[in-house]
């Protein structure tokens, strides 16, 4: 009955398919069966939900991996956009600085009736973070920082800078 229930075959069918060997040791076979049963029991309870949980966890991993890739791609795109913005900003700043410097120089010479006025970047390597140094040389004086000029000369140099 057990054979028919568990194996879907009758005992007679099994004997015909698998003839019993004359050297078969029933006691050794039963001992082996008991050994295997105790090992199976040693595995503990079987989590019947494990396969379902595995599927859910794999789906979650795929989702999170996709999200991570999207974030990494977004970070890369943002960094590239920032590099482009900085490049354009430097380019525009240099262009504007050169134009303002040219206008300042021309207006300085016009206001002072000669001499020389110019602006220079303190740190030419990083124009966006650099300070600006204003150098002035009124007619008949030596080249110096605008801070060393007299009050009137400072006012006229400032006027040339603002209007330039």
In a domain, 64, yes or no: no
Beta-strand runs (E) in the chain:
116-121, 132-137, 144-145
Domain count of the chain?
2
In a domain, 105, yes or no: yes
In a domain, 82, yes or no: no
Over residues 121-152, the pLDDT tens digits come to 988 788 888 888 888 888 888 877 778 888 88
Q: Which residues contact 74 (CB under 8 A, 6 or more apart)?
A: none
Q: Which pTM was predicted?
A: 0.57
Residue 84 has pLDDT above 80, yes or no: yes
In a domain, 85, yes or no: no
Instruction: Please name which of 114, 91, 111 lies closest in space to residue 163, comparing C-alpha atoms.
Output: 111
Of 5-14, 48-57, 119-128, least confident by mean pLDDT is: 5-14
Stated as kind and residue range, the H or E segment containing 107 is: helix 50-112
Instruction: Please name which of 70, 127, 125, 55 lies closest in space to residue 95, comparing C-alpha atoms.
Output: 127
Domain that holds residue 37: 2-42
What pLDDT band is residue 6 in, cutting at 50, 70 and 90? low
């Amino acid at each position: 009955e057990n054979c028919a229930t568990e194996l879907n075959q009758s005992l007679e069918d099994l004997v015909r398919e698998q003839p019993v060997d004359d050297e078969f040791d029933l006691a050794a076979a039963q001992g082996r069966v008991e050994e295997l049963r105790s090992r199976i029991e040693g595995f503990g309870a079987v989590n019947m939900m494990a396969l379902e949980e595995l599927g859910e966890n794999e789906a979650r991993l795929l989702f999170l991996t996709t999200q991570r890739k999207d974030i990494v791609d977004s970070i890369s795109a943002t960094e590239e956009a920032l590099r482009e913005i900085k490049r354009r900003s430097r380019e525009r700043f240099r262009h504007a600085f050169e134009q303002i410097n040219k206008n300042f120089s021309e207006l300085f010479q016009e206001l002072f009736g000669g001499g020389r006025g110019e602006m220079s970047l303190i740190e030419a390597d990083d124009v966006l973070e650099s300070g600006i140094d204003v150098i002035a040389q009124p007619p008949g004086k030596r080249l110096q920082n605008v801070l060393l000029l007299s009050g009137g000369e400072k006012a006229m140099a400032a006027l040339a800078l603002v209007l330039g």
